[in-house]
Amino acid sequence: MEKNVIVDIDVHQAPATRDVLLPFLPKTWHSEWKMMGVLPPHYYSAIGGFRKDAKPESGVHGSDVELMRKQLLDENGIDYAILTSDAINISLYYNPDYANAVASAYNEWTAACWLKQDSRFKGSILINNSDIPAAIKEIERWGDHPDMVQIVMPSASRTLYGQRIFHPLYETAEKYGLPIAIHPTAEGRGTAPEPTNAGYPTRYMEWHAGLSVSYISHLISLVCEGVFEKFPGFKFIGMEGGISWLPNVMWTLDNHYKALRSTVPWLRKYPSEYIIEQFFVTTQPLEEPEKKEYFATILEMIHAEQTLLYSSDYPHWDFDAPKTVELCLPRHLRKAVMGETALKLYGLKRPTGKEAPTT
């Protein structure tokens, strides 16, 4: 197999204990942090949340730099791993002041204890989007940091992500050239509405199998509210929500646009064109259709050569190694999906010894 660039855009680093974060957190929040941390899980997963072999001596998965370096980067030949943290749900915490402080502390801890340890680690700016001006300040604080390459938010939200309250956030992200990624978490927890528009599902399997509903709703909102037209340099990533729901959204929106474009007069292209150019999905979890050729067709339908990014979700139970994913992909898509699209998207330096593909 050729040596492809491999960029893993979804890796969860975690503090080994809550105490680890204290040096980065204002004293006024120490007691609440020690008692509450981030929001607890809402559904019990019968298979746990983590790869069993990714548990370090400290006991917390994703907390040991050395183990992650060895088990994720070295063993899998990963050129860059973008850290997304275990605190993405902080936007749904009840008290925005606490959430702002925890997000800042995570960013400082990540910069100090991870990004300095290995140049292959890159960071995501964790924000609390329940306080937009504070979230903007946090982006401005880190926006010029050479190793902070994306912004993360939860898939759960009280408000659809296309709506105007979020536009200043997108303006700031565009200014710094930082994509915003949403990651599954917190539907029905903290201040988030119920996980479906018909209440709470019964169990983990239902919540997890239905993650697409958040992504579908947010993407429709982003397109129709004109976010991609208003901020043409802005990129949005739907992490870990699957990919095979995307053709439905592209076609349905295009179809509706034909009949109802007077209600979205700011759109100057078909919805699917904005999606292909400014929206991304990730490989983890990979769908496994009944017939193998269906998977290739879905990749064609979503223009995967432009829209699909490799992610491992390390150290979670549904981790996908780069080799597994590469072998599932048609040969002509491997370079783009495994790393080339991400190199461009995040403005990462090409790793030495890995040539640009000749096209």
Q: Least Å distance between CB 302 and its own copies? A: 11
Q: How far is the CB of 317 from its own copies (least distance, A)?
A: 8
Contacts of 128 (CB under 8 A, 6+ apart): 90, 91, 93, 96, 99, 100, 102, 103, 134, 135, 138
Site for its own copies in 216-275 (CB under 8 A): 216-218, 220-221, 224-225, 242, 244-245, 247-257, 259-260, 262-264, 272
Judged by beta carbon, residue 272 or residue 283, the one nearer its own copies is 272
How many whole angstroms separate alpha carbon 140 and alpha carbon 194?
Answer: 32
Nearer residue to its own copies within complex by CB, 34 or 51: 51
Contact call for residues 149 and 143 (beta carbons, < 8 A): no
Q: Which is nearer to its own copies, 254 or 305 (CB)?
A: 254
**Number of CB atoms found within 10 A of residue 281's CB:** 23
Binders of its own copies among 149-208, rule CB under 8 A? 156-163, 187-188, 192-206, 208
212 binds its own copies (CB under 8 A): yes
Q: Which is nearer to its own copies, 108 or 318 (CB)?
A: 318
If DSSP states are collapsed to H, E and C, what string results for 292-305?
HHHHHHHHHHCCHH
Task: Give the residue carrying structure tokens 């479906």.
Answer: 196
Of 209, 323, 347, 357, the one binding its own copies by CB under 8 A: 209
Q: Is the peptide bond before 201 cis (omega within 30 degrees of 0)?
A: no
106 near its own copies, judged by CB under 8 A: no
Is position 97 an interface residue for its own copies (rule: CB under 8 A)?
no
Of the CA atoms within 13 Å of residue 358, those in its CB half-sphere come to: 0
Please report, as residue ranges, which positions from 288 to 347 form the binding site for its own copies (by CB under 8 A).
Answer: 288-290, 294, 297-298, 301, 317-318
Please, which residues have CB within 8 angstroms of residue 127's CB and are 6 or more apart in sequence? 91, 103, 135, 138, 139, 151, 152, 153, 169
**Cα gap 23→11, rounded to integer Å:** 23
> To the nearest whole angstrom, how small is the minimum distance from the Cβ of residue 35 to its own copies?
28
**Pick 19 or 287: Cβ nearer its own copies:** 287
Shortest distance in whole angstroms from residue 295 CB to its own copies: 9
In the complex with its own copies, the residue whose CB is nearer, 58 or 196, is 196
Nearer to its own copies, 94 or 251 (CB): 251
Phi-psi region of 80 (alpha: psi -120 to 50; beta: other; left: phi over 0): beta
Least distance CB 47 / its own copies (angstroms): 6
In the β-sheet with 180-183, what is the strand arrangement from edge to edge?
Answer: 7-11, 80-83, 121-126, 148-154, 180-183, 236-238, 279-282, 308-309
Applying CB under 8 A, which of residues 41, 146, 168, 210 lies at the interface with its own copies?
210
Q: 79 or 187: whose CB is closer to its own copies?
A: 187
| Helix (H) / strand (E) containing 148 | strand 148-154
Which one among 16, 36, 213, 321 touches its own copies, defined by CB under 8 A? Answer: 213
Task: Count how many Cα atoms sit within 13 Å of the Cα of residue 120 in the half-sphere of its side chain.
Answer: 21
Provide the minimum distance between the beta carbon of 211 and its own copies in the complex, in angstroms, as a whole number. Answer: 8
> Which of 27, 40, 47, 358 touches its own copies by CB under 8 A?
47
Rounding to the nearest 10 degrees, give the CA dihedral for residues 306, 307, 311, 317: -150
Nearer to its own copies, 146 or 289 (CB): 289
Residue 48 found at the interface with its own copies (CB under 8 A): no
